[in-house]
Chains A and B, each alone.
Chain A
């Protein structure tokens, strides 16, 4: 039995993978065919270990370690499998559980599991048996809980299919097939991982996998990682900029972003102009309660139209001119603001002509609803204003 221990220990497997769990569970399951498994605490184990199991999933899915696994079919016919592989829940604990009281079978020698290879199956040792029950957990999850992890289901399904193709003699229910499937799939995965290049260091790194046919040298990997970072950021920007859901492609998105930033900057200028114009006619408001009130103001800032309209039209003509000229200035960059104001003052002699733009102006009580025009700017309806103002 010692040689079992040595063989198992010789596996230089650094981390825990779901596959390992499944494999071990598969191996366990094979043995269970010949032995009565104490299912008294099964339900408890399932309930208690499912979250851990899922946690294990989460921690392990990010790792693309290479594992050398063999089929659990070798376990067929193993006699004494009362105590089988015991592996702890989380990764760091793996190095500890090296107790191997009973190695199931000669074939287990090929079965390179991680260092967790102690076989001890005692009914009361719940913490120990958590992973041993993986197979049963799998069944439970599949049947009752409906396992939360898609990959898990996928592996099970693939494991089932694979095992069927092997044509091995299966005793018991489908979970044994499932285990076999898992194992075969895991071996496939491991071989795939051998050929793939994966950068996995920390959870917050971007996992880059080189697919079949792609270069795997460090430069292209770095390039690919950089490109994925950029595309991820573009997606975040897509959420920020309104109306970008339909646009795909970097150039279109960048155009939208540029337009949006420009419009926001113009809005700030415009609003500051408006505040300047309004301030001249109003006295200082009490500033104590303002900050909280202003900050709590609804984001849409939809003022009640009834209250806003009457006083809103009180802008005197000069202020309106300056506001309009400010608007013109933002529309036509080459025109300097001073020139705009000069022209406004010239035209202010005919006060009546100024009223027309103001009516269009005042029609929108919310006043600066910047309508986003695709392929254009985020601008309010500026046509009437521009036509009437010089």
Chain B
């Protein structure tokens, strides 16, 4: 694979730049005490949020899912300051959502059920019809693969150094 410079304004480059910038911000203050699992876990959350945010910003709200992601991140950050156990609340909502999914399969058309599942997966998918949902899913998959590629590269580079 060639190492020539790819398009500097491609999605990959934009995401990489933003994500690395966020990583430096996350790593900067925590160089000293960072071995406890709790610390690591906290950093993991921050990194994950940074990854999602970087990707959403790289797409620049051209897509419904990116707008929904940004909106969700902003409201979550706001609510987290108010609620003390915000982390547990978000985890609980995740579990209840998974239980609700199983109940839905019992009734309704199969296509509708799967569309519902897809709507839950793709951010902002609740208010989309099937046509737009498929479009958003395609773009979302493309961005996710880019994200995974870049993050894997970064992780490998980190592991080498």
A contact set with B: CB distance below 8 Å: 226, 229-230, 233-234, 236-237, 240-241, 250-251, 254-255, 257-258, 260-262, 264-265, 267-269, 271-285, 287, 290-301, 303, 307-308, 311-312, 314-316, 318-319, 321-322, 325-326, 333-334, 336-338, 341, 344-345, 367-368
**Chain A interface, DSSP helix/strand/loop, else mixed:** helix
Q: Which of B80-98 contact A (CB under 8 A)?
A: 87-88, 91, 94-95, 98
| A233–B23 touching, CB < 8 Å | no
Query: A265, B121: Cβ atoms under 8 Å?
Result: yes
Q: Please state if B118 and A229 are interface contacts (CB–CB under 8 Å).
A: no
In the bound assembly, the distance between CA atoms of A300 and B98 in angstroms comes to 32
CB distance from A208 to the nearest CB of B (A): 15
A-B contact pairs, 9 of them (CB 8 A): A230-B134, A251-B111, A254-B115, A258-B118, A260-B141, A271-B155, A275-B23, A276-B47, A326-B41
- Report which of B51, B118, B160 forms a contact with A257, defined as CB distance below 8 A: B118
Whether B138 pairs with A233 at a CB distance below 8 angstroms is yes
Separation in Å of the B156 CB from the closest CB of chain A? 5
Contact of B77 with A by CB under 8 A: no
Chain A residue numbers with a CB within 8 Å of B17 are: 291
Tell me if A233 and B36 are in contact (CB < 8 A): no
Q: Are A307 and B20 in contact (CB under 8 A)?
A: no
A311 and B159 contact, CB distance less than 8 A: yes
Identify the interface centre among A236, A271, A282: most chain B CB within 10 Å of its CB: A271
In the complex, which residues of chain B have a beta carbon less than 8 angstroms from the beta carbon of A233? 131, 134-135, 138
Complex Cα spacing A241 to B37, Å: 35
Least CB distance from B29 to A in Å reads 11
Can you name the residue of chain A whose Cβ is closest to the Cβ of B42? Answer: A276
Q: How far is the CA of A181 from the CA of B150 in the complex (A)?
A: 60
A264-B144, A296-B5, A326-B44 known; A287-B35 Cβ under 8 A: no
Counting CB contacts under 8 A, is B74 at the interface?
no
> Looking at the complex, which one of B2, B5, B155 makes contact with A274 (CB distance below 8 Å)?
B155
Q: Which residue of A lies closest to B161 (CB)?
A: A282
Contact A275 B141 (CB under 8 A): no
With known contacts A261-B122, A308-B156, A280–B137 Cβ distance under 8 A: no
Contact of B134 with A336 in the complex, beta carbons under 8 Å: no
Q: Is the CB of A284 within 8 A of B159?
A: no
Task: Say if the beta carbon of B48 comes within 8 Å of chain A.
Answer: yes
A284 contacts B114, CB within 8 Å? Answer: no
Q: Are A294 and B153 in contact (CB-based, < 8 A)? A: yes
Q: Smallest Cβ distance from A277 to chain B, in angstroms? A: 5
Closest to B48 in A: A272
Determine the chain B residues whose CB is within 8 A of the CB of A287 once the complex forms.
Answer: 20-21, 24
User: Is the CB–CB distance between A240 and B144 below 8 Å?
Assistant: no
- Of the candidates B16, B43, B121, the one whose C-beta lies within 8 Å of that of A294 is B16
From A284, A296, A334, B31 is in contact (CB under 8 Å) with A284
Residues 133-150 of B, flagged 1 when their CB comes within 8 A of A and 0 if not, give 011011011101101111
Q: Which residue of B lies closest to A299 (CB)?
A: B149
Whether the Cβ atoms of B158 and A282 lie closer than 8 Å is: yes
For the A-B complex with A268-B52, A278-B158, A282-B161 known, give 14 more contacts whose Cβ atoms are closer than 8 Å.
A230-B130, A237-B138, A240-B142, A251-B114, A257-B141, A258-B117, A258-B121, A261-B122, A271-B148, A272-B51, A280-B43, A284-B27, A299-B149, A308-B156
With beta carbons under 8 angstroms apart, the residue of B12, B41, B51, B117 that contacts A268 is: B51
Residue from B4, B152, B155 within 8 A of A296 (CB atoms): B4
Interface assignment of B39: CB less than 8 Å from any CB of chain A? yes
